[in-house]
């Protein structure tokens, strides 16, 4: 395959996907959940290349582009760090970015059932989690700790937003996600599919998370709320059980990404 094309003009239209990323990764005035998927860094771009997402282009400094095993047909561009920075709008320490076409969210029924409707399965369910970096961190923990997918309420951040993909180290690209449009009433669909829904809360009257037997509950969905307010009372009432992570006296809660990782590991 031909080598990468050298870019010397920051206004070159061939790298338009990467222009002014500091302002976001979708055109101004377009809806959340639209626009190209932007991936940063060699490990994350490698995960993109192994994912079902169609890669549009790769752009970076020569050493980083050369580190990638690019398949035929993927347009590759390289530039010095100054031109790269001028195109994307900031200094990119990871040295390479890639763009990809979006894929639609997974079909909700397919995500709930999984490849084998009788097999154990775990999901993370996010309510109003509007911080893209927290979402990315949760996605990374989910993949590492065996969670099979994400369910998002309508107010959640875009899991394919650039900062979410970056913090997840590209792992979010391998994690199916779907939107649960009716909230929290839609949790009944999980119950009908055999899931025990576990609402995380620091409330003193919640059960100890460690007392939940994952063998007795082979299909489990962990509900997580936004940093600060946590899960709404309505979501907690709609869940099968409310559970807390036991902590030292004087510490009332953990950050949502840390709490998610502990819950995923506890309920393996």
Give percent of the chain above pLDDT 90: 86
**pLDDT reported for residue 3:** 84
Q: What is the mean pLDDT of residues 124-153?
A: 97
pTM of the model: 0.93
Interior angle at CA 37, CA 123 and CA 124, nearest 5 = 10
Q: What is the pLDDT of residues 207-248, one digit of tens each?
A: 999 999 999 999 999 999 998 889 999 999 999 999 999 998
Check residue 59 and give its pLDDT: 98
The whole-number pLDDT of residue 212 equals 96
Q: Please determine, for residue 262, whether its predicted confidence score (pLDDT) is greater than 80.
A: yes
The residues near 215 (Cβ < 8 Å, ≥ 6 apart) are none
In the chain the domains, ranked by start, together with CATH numbers, are: 5-100 (3.30.1330.30), 108-266 (3.40.1280.10)
pLDDT at residue 228 in the model: 86
Q: Which residues contact 213 (CB under 8 A, 6 or more apart)?
A: none
pLDDT at 7 over 80: yes
Work out the average pLDDT over 154-170. 95
Query: Which residues partner with 222 through β-bridges?
Result: 124, 198
Retrieve residue 164's tokens: 């979410």
Phi, psi dihedrals of residue 41, rounded to the nearest 5°: 95, 150
**Alpha carbon distance 200, 226 (integer Å):** 11
Residue 230 in contact with residue 199, Cβ under 8 Å? no
Residue-wise pLDDT for 26-54, tens only, equals 555 456 677 899 999 999 999 999 999 99
Q: Give me the long-range contacts of 69-75 (CB less than 8 A, separation at least 24).
A: 70/1, 72/1, 74/49, 75/5, 75/14
- Containing H/E element for 22? none
For residue 241, what pLDDT is reported? 98
The pLDDT value given to residue 230: 93
Q: Which residues pair with 5 in a beta bridge?
A: 77
pLDDT above 70 for 165 = yes
Q: Which residue has the tokens 């890639």?
A: 98
């Amino acid at each position: 395959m031909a080598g990468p094309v050298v870019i010397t003009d920051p206004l070159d239209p061939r790298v338009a996907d990467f222009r002014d990323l500091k302002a976001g990764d979708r055109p101004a005035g377009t809806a959340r959940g639209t626009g190209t998927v932007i991936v940063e860094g060699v490990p994350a771009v490698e995960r993109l290349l192994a994912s079902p997402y169609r890669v549009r282009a790769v752009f970076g400094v020569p050493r980083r582009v050369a580190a990638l095993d690019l398949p035929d047909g993927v347009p590759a561009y390289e530039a010095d760090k100054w031109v790269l920075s001028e195109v994307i709008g900031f200094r990119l320490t990871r040295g390479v970015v890639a763009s990809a076409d979006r894929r639609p969210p997974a079909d909700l029924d397919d995500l709930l059932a999984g490849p084998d409707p009788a097999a154990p399965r775990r999901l993370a369910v996010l309510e109003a989690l509007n911080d893209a970096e927290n979402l990315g961190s949760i996605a990374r923990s989910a993949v590492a700790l065996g969670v099979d997918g994400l369910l998002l309420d309508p107010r959640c951040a875009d899991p394919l937003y650039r900062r979410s993909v970056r913090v997840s180290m590209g792992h979010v690209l391998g994690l199916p996600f779907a939107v649960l449009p009716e909230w929290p009433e839609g949790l009944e669909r999980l119950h009908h599919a055999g899931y025990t829904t576990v609402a995380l809360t620091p409330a003193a009257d919640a059960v100890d998370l460690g007392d939940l037997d994952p063998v007795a509950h082979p299909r489990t969905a962990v509900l997580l709320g936004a940093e600060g307010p946590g899960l709404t009372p309505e979501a907690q009432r709609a869940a099968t059980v409310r559970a807390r992570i036991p902590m030292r006296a004087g510490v009332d809660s953990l950050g949502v990404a840390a709490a998610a990782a502990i819950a995923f590991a506890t309920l393996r």
